[in-house]
Amino acid sequence: MTKRLVSMAMGLACVCLAWSASVSMAASPEEDVRPVLDKLLKAVELNDYDNFVAEGTDAFKTGITKQIFENVSNQASPRLKKGCTYLFLGELKQQGCQVYLWKLVFKDGGDDGFAKLAIKDGKVAGLLLQ
């Protein structure tokens, strides 16, 4: 009886370890969307409108005019050029989009920022920078 319990416990432990390893090896939401945020913020930094809207939904492309983009870029670019790190805060669902929230920490020592990145059907549906 004791051997059987030990054997069952060992089997259960192996299953638990295998499950936790598979969960930890899966890509996190942060890892999946960080390259998208990197590309968008780099486009803002370089005032590159075409690159900014390249992976956007049709609504994103028409909603973010070149003039709106340039206004945001002119304000944010100097701080982005000095460097910025981001901290993933979490995700949520809103209006059919998967939304990712980030804290932006600028290396110029000024106020922190906030980014809200919305993805719909694998395309950028929105980016809010505060």
3-state secondary structure 47-85: CCHHHHHCCECHHHHHHCCHHHHHHHHHHHHHHHHHCEE
pLDDT category at 97 given cuts 50, 70, 90 is very high
The pair of structure tokens assigned to 1 is 């009886």
Q: What percent of the chain has pLDDT over 90?
A: 75
Quick one: which H or E segment has residue 20? helix 2-25
In a domain, 102, yes or no: yes
In a domain, 21, yes or no: no
What is the predicted pLDDT for the residue at 27? 61
Q: State which residues form the domain around 105.
A: 28-129
In a domain, 107, yes or no: yes
Instruction: Tell me if 97 sits within 8 A of 33, measured CB to CB.
Output: no
- What's the CA gap between 36 and 90, in Å, rounded? 16
How many structural domains does the chain have?
A: 1
pTM confidence score = 0.77
Query: What's the pLDDT tens digit per position in 9-54?
Result: 334 333 333 333 333 344 677 788 999 999 999 999 999 999 999 9
In a domain, 56, yes or no: yes
